[in-house]
Structure 1
C-alpha cells in the first residue's frame, strides 16, 4: 500500500481523506500536535469562534489521563490497558505513561478513524507491547471479539478500560448505557473503568448556562454531542465501585488519597466530569 501526496506537502497514508476534517485530528491540533491537515485546522478555527474553551478542555482531559494512568499503573498495579476511542497519538499517551512505570505493560488502542490507525501503527512499529485495533467502540460485540482484545481479557488479570471524551458523542442515552454495560460485563474481576464525559449539571449555575448556550451554537456541526447530567454519567459505571472523589468536574478530580486545590472557584473545566470505577474481585 503506497503513500500519496497530501495538500499540505509531504506524504499521507493511503485511505486517509485529508480534505475532510477528523475529530481526532482536530483534537490533536488543540493539543499542539502535528498530525493534522488544513481541513482540520479550518474546523478548529470555526470551533474556537463558537467555543474558545476547547483547548482548555483538551488540556484538562490530557492532565486527567496522565494522573489516572499513572495511579493505575503505580498504585493499583494494573498491567493491562485498553484505550477505547483513543484518538491520535500525541505527547504522553497511555502506553508511554504506563510503560514508564512497568515496561511489561500491555496496551491496546481502539479507534475506527483511519488517521488514528495509520499514525498509531506507524508510531508503534518498535513497541511489541502496544497495539492499535481498528474498530468502532460503539459496537462492543465486535470490539470484544477482536483477537487482541479477546486475548487480553481472557488472561483473567485486571484490565483498565479508558473511555475519555468519547461516550458523549453517542446521542442516545439508553444506547450509551448499554454500550458501557457490555464493556463492564466483559472486564475481569478487579478491573477498572475510567471515563471523562461532557456534563451539564442542570443546576442553573454558570456551567449550566455556558453549556446550554454552547450546545445551541454547535448543534449543527455536532448533532450527536450530548452533555449529560451527573446522574447519567455516574450510571455509566453500572455496579462498579466508584473511587474517590467520585464522578466530579475535572477541576475537582484527584487520584484516590490525593487532594484537590483548596477553595477553588468553578471554571470552564467543570463542563467535563471524570471518574474511575473498580469491578469487585471474585
Structure 2
C-alpha cells in the first residue's frame, strides 16, 4: 500500500509539473525542447531539440511552429524562414495557413517587402478560391488576449491593409491607395483610413486626404479611438497644399497583376467562379483597378 501511495503522489507531482509549466508529457525530443524553452529558459538548447524533433518526425508541425517562434527572439529570423520553407511540405494542409502567418511576421522583421507582398497576394488568391480557414466561414483568433471569431470579410480587409502598408514601404503610394480603398470598402476602420490619407498626401492630393481624415476625427469609422484621432490630427498638421507634388513612381510591371484590376484575376480563374465567396462580389465593381 505504501508503494502504491508513493506512486500516486509521484504521479500527482508529475501532473502538477506539466500543468504548471505547460510542458507536454513524454520524453521525446519535442518534450525536451519544450522543457528547455519553458522551464530552463534555454532558447538555444530548445532550438537544438526542436531540430531533433523535426528530423525524428516527433510532432513535426508543432516543433516547426514552436522553433520558429523561439528563433524570432534571438534574431535568427532568416534561419527561421529557411526552416519553414524546407519543412512545410511535411506539414498538413491545415497547418499551412499558420505557417504563412509566421512567414509574414518574419518577412516584416527582415525587411523582405517583395516576399511579403507575394505571400499576401497568395493568401488573397486562396480567399478568392474559397480555400481560406480550411473551408470554414470563420476562424478563431486572439485579439488583445481575447478569443474572437474572424470572418472571411474581416480577414480579406486585414490582408489588403497589410498589402497596402507593404506597398507604402516601397513608396508605391498609388498601389497602396488602390489597395486601402478596397480594404475600406470591405471592412472600414480608422487605422486604414489614416494610411489611405497618407498615400493621398504623398501624391499631393491634399483635399482628398483631408476628407478621409475628417471621417476619422468625427468618429465616422469603426476603431476611431484616441490613437487614430491623434494620428489623423498629426497628418492634418502636415498637410501643405502649396507644396509642389513630389515625384511619384508609377506602378511597377510586377504589380500590374494586382493593381490593374480584378478582371484578369476573374478571367484566369474562370472555372472557379462557382467557388467565389460573396466578399468578392463586393469588390467586383472595382475590378478594373485591382487584381491578384
Name the larger-Rg structure.
2
TM-score between both structures, scaled by the size of structure 1:
0.28
Return the structure number with greater relative CO, CA threshold 8 A, min gap 6.
1
TM-score between both structures, scaled by the size of structure 2:
0.27
